[in-house]
Amino acid sequence: MNHFQYRNGALHAEDVLITQIAEAEGTPFYCYSTATLTRHYQVFAEALSGLDAKIFYAVKANSNLAVIKTFADLGAGADVVSEGELRRALAAGVPADGIIFSGVGKSQEELAGAVERGIHQINVESQPELDALSGVAKARNAEMDIAIRVNPDVDAKTHDKISTGRQEDKFGIDIADAVETYRRAADLPGINPVSVAVHIGSQLTDLDPFRMAFTRVAELVRTLRDQGHTITRLDLGGGLGIPYRDEEPPLPEEYAAMVRETVGDLGCQLAFEPGRMLVGNAGVLVSRVLFVKLGNSRRFVVLDAAMNDLIRQTLYDAHHDLLPVAQAPSNAAFEPADVVGPVCETGDTFVRGYPLPPVITGDLLAFASAGAYGAVMASTYNSRPLVPEIMVSGSDYSVIRARQTYEELLALDSFADWQQDDPLRRRSIG
């Protein structure tokens, strides 16, 4: 359920008319609903009630400070994968001890920053990372709680590029090597291996891969305990899918029931790292039609948004429904359209043959389910400034990220020393 609905034929975000935002702020823009963010969090939290569980919002899905703060205010921690995300989580009010640092490659500086700030847990993904973290923590006289992320060799049956739990994927330590890795970790100074982490992929629409992975993790925990390790926590990752089109992902209660079945009797504190299911359907990308171009065989609808603003269709062949902001009349003829952006490559095609009512220059279209992995994956390709993000709450809206200006777009570049007009700034190269 989400709060982007038609009223009197006009698309609203909660009680705000999308056209009103478009007129005031220009297009394209991302628009998020606070009510949907809150509802999704609460539904998931309620499903987990009775379990010793905490939600660590996966910041990578949407790292806008206002979005993180919305969850932090509801009691969420944060799952971060970089120094930048760590700083965002802290800036949004997530306490350091509510932060988990995941990811397959953390720099020495990132490890040091996490240790110095005293975060809740670092998820380690390789033996060299264990050694590096041990060195960093020891040098600071710290004792860092860690999880070792295991790779359970389970196919999540999702898109190849977002599947992370097969042996051939780069993530985690092979579950077959886990016992040996814990043994070595226990001997290393500065680290405290208290948890097992697993995350097998994103946009899962079936519970079976989760069940298989969690069952393997439960077996591992029993083995580790038999060998004298004190495992008090489990990190079960994220990954629960959302409906983009006709998918029917498991309900949060079904997911929670499977969690109880597989790991419920271990007495572990459970960490969850949902991203997409909290924010995906809480956001849309609103764009204006620049031109409608009638080719010999196709109707091309050229938008002012492009693959640099929302890359999921290009990168993962993902589907995002298109909602005409002015609802089509019931007798409108829906004809196939190829909806494209202005970027100079054919890959900048959002969808082919999509049934759209007649549209003309100036009409607004909204891509649904764009709250997760939308704005965060945007780039300035073709020197197109990053688009703004808007948050709605009831009848209020607020710009939570300004549109990038052309001055900002150019600001980090400079001429090489020898290209400067001022001869004093020229350095000899020879």
Q: Single out the residue of 40, 54, 88, 276 in contact with ligand LLP (rule: CB under 6 A).
A: 276
Name residues whose C-beta falls within 8 Å of residue 415's C-beta, 6 or more positions apart in sequence.
Answer: none
Residue 143 Cβ, how far from ligand LLP at the closest point, in Å? 23
Give the tokens for residue 66.
């206002």
CA 38, CA 342: separation in Å to the nearest integer? 35
Annotated catalytic residue, options 344, 402, 410, 411? 344
* Angle, CA of 119, 120 and 125, to the nearest 5°: 95
Residue 239 or 324: which CB sits closer to ligand LLP?
239
Cβ-based neighbour number of residue 216 at 10 Å: 20
Q: What is the chain's length?
A: 430
Q: How far is the CB of 273 from ligand LLP (least distance, A)?
A: 4
Cβ proximity to ligand LLP, 238 vs 324, nearer residue: 238
Min separation Cβ 160 and ligand LLP, Å: 11
Contact between 72 and 93 under an 8 Å Cβ cutoff? The reply is yes
Residue 239 touching ligand LLP (CB under 6 A): yes
Single residue of 14, 79, 125, 309 touching ligand LLP by CB under 6 A: 79
Q: Does residue 129 bind ligand LLP (CB under 6 A)?
A: no
Active site residue 268: no
Site string for ligand LLP, 347-376 (x = CB under 6 A): --------------------------x---
Query: Residues in contact with ligand LLP, total (CB under 6 A)?
Result: 20
| Cα(135)–Cα(381) distance, integer angstroms | 40
**DSSP 8-state class, residue 48:** T
Comparing CB distances to ligand LLP, the nearer of 58 and 282 is 58
Residue 16 or 99: the one with the smaller Cβ distance to ligand LLP is 99
Closer residue to ligand LLP, CB minimum distance, 104 or 290: 104
Q: Pick from 312, 319, 320, 384: which binds ligand LLP (CB under 6 A)? A: 312
**Per-residue interface string for the shown chain with ligand LLP, residues 45-64, x marking contact by CB under 6 A:** -------------x-xx---
Q: Minimum distance between the CB of residue 272 and ligand LLP, rounded to whole angstroms?
A: 9
263, two tokens: 């790991």
Residues 85-104 that bind ligand LLP (CB under 6 A): 102
Site for ligand LLP in 329-348 (CB under 6 A): none
Residue 360 to residue 341: CA distance in whole angstroms: 15
Q: How far is the CB of 53 from ligand LLP (least distance, A)?
A: 15
C-alpha separations of 84 from 101, 158, 215, 224, 303 in Å: 11, 28, 34, 34, 31
How far separated are the first and last CA of the chain, in Å rounded? 66
Does residue 409 interact with ligand LLP by CB under 6 A?
no
Binding mask 186-205 for ligand LLP (x = CB under 6 A): -------------x--xx--
Give the side-chain half-sphere CA count within 13 A for 422.
4
Residue 10 CA to residue 326 CA, distance in Å, equals: 5
Task: Pick the binder of ligand LLP from 14, 25, 125, 273 (CB under 6 A).
Answer: 273
CA-to-CA dists, residue 29 to 26, 305, 324, 369, angstroms: 7, 9, 15, 14
Q: Of residues 141-170, which lie at the interface with ligand LLP (CB under 6 A)?
A: 162
Q: Long-range contacts of range 257-263, CB-CB < 8 Å, 24 or more positions apart? A: 258/207, 258/210, 258/211, 258/214, 259/48, 259/51, 259/214, 260/51, 261/211, 262/211, 262/214, 262/215, 262/217, 262/218, 263/214, 263/217, 263/218, 263/221, 263/234, 263/236
Question: Stretches 29-37, 180-188, 271-279, 301-309: which one binds ligand LLP (CB under 6 A)?
Answer: 271-279
User: Taking a C-beta distance cutoff of 8 angstroms, is the pair 285, 309 a contact?
Assistant: yes
Residues noted as catalytic: 344
Q: Rule CB under 6 A: which residues touch ligand LLP?
A: 58, 60-61, 79, 102, 162, 199, 202-203, 237-239, 273-277, 312, 316, 373
